[in-house]
Amino acid sequence: MSTARSADAVHVRAPGKINVYLGVGPRHDDGYHSLATVFQAVSLYEDVYAHPSDGFSLEIHGDVDVGDVPTDDRNLAMRAAKLLAQTAGVTTGVHLEIRKGVPVAGGMGGGSADAAAALVACDALWGTELGVHGLHELATRLGADVPFALHGGTALGAGRGDELTPALARGRFDWVLVTSADGLSTPEIYGRLDALRAHGEALADAPPLSLDVPVAVLQALRAGDATALAPVMFNDLERAAIDGRPDLELALADGVRFGALSGIVSGSGPTIAFLCAGPDVARTVQQELQATGRTALHVHGPVAGARLMG
């Protein structure tokens, strides 16, 4: 629990995400790859409390293992607070308290959610009133997934993943997540994909490398049809993430054997997301996966982006 929660703190909650579709194009000179992706925000959250302070500091608690998360300027939430202060000419500081619910280095955008939440929380704490467009611009500068954590829901991402277009998604999709104690580094996974491609290995089972989200993905989301979505989910990073991780390949097979419609590595992994036909099936799949000794969570999407809780 909080060691420093104050009555005048601002509380903001931001969600983790799954990439329902992730097509990765070529690497550019800035180190980023072109993407054609569809994000869905799911009901696993980061809670950020912004406490008034003269300086800048940060503490982290968690429902998940927070061992390696830095609390200095390497932390994206800290960078977000300082960027907002600098942009808006704020001369005071903030003490950020982060309660993590999204797996660390899990491919679900937990750090990006922290940054989005910190922007919204500090904007409210300091009364900087940057508005949606101002915060979006800062989010884009902080990282490719930060704008989506701000907006939430279901959205197409182009460019580095930060050029967002909201996508219609009817109803609710039930997901079971299998988390992993050993995280993966996002830049390393992108690098491994480049290496696999250079050796001509990664595209054997992939659709043609066109950077468009298939119409079938958007139609299934619009119809709220999990059965139609399951066979068209795709992640170009999956091969790179499961390379040398037989545990992930085994988990993917087990989830489907236990009744999930389909499983996919989330973003750069190693979290696996299983799409299920409904909440009852999802609970069964979760229980069966837990019975094998894995950590499995039942979540749903889409949910809202970063929002003020009080």
Contact set with ligand C5P (CB under 6 A): 31-33, 35, 143-145, 160-161, 186-187, 190
CB of 144 to ligand C5P, least distance (A): 4
Please indicate if the annotation marks 183 as binding a ligand.
no
Residue 256 token pair: 């489907």
Q: Which is nearer to ligand C5P, 163 or 247 (CB)?
A: 163
Q: Which is nearer to ligand C5P, 31 or 278 (CB)?
A: 31
Please indicate if the annotation marks 110 as binding a ligand.
yes
CA gap 92, 291 in Å, rounded: 50
- Active-site residue identified among 17, 47, 114, 236: 17
CA gap 227, 204 in Å, rounded: 25
CA gap 264, 176 in Å, rounded: 11
Q: Which is nearer to ligand C5P, 105 or 275 (CB)?
A: 105
Please indicate if the annotation marks 293 as binding a ligand.
no
CB of 125 to ligand C5P, least distance (A): 24
The yes-or-no answer on residue 100 being catalytic is: no
CB of 207 to ligand C5P, least distance (A): 19
Q: Which is nearer to ligand C5P, 21 or 190 (CB)?
A: 190
Please indicate if the annotation marks 111 as binding a ligand.
yes
CB of 209 to ligand C5P, least distance (A): 15
Please indicate if the annotation marks 187 as binding a ligand.
no
CA gap 297, 163 in Å, rounded: 29
For 54-92, strand residue ranges (E) read: 56-62
CA gap 130, 118 in Å, rounded: 13
- Active-site residue identified among 47, 123, 145, 174: 145
CA gap 97, 240 in Å, rounded: 34
For the chain, strand residue ranges (E) read: 10-27, 33-53, 56-62, 93-100, 154-158, 163-166, 173-179, 234-235, 262-265, 272-276, 295-301, 307-308
Catalytic machinery residues: 17, 145
Annotated binding site for ATP: 103-113
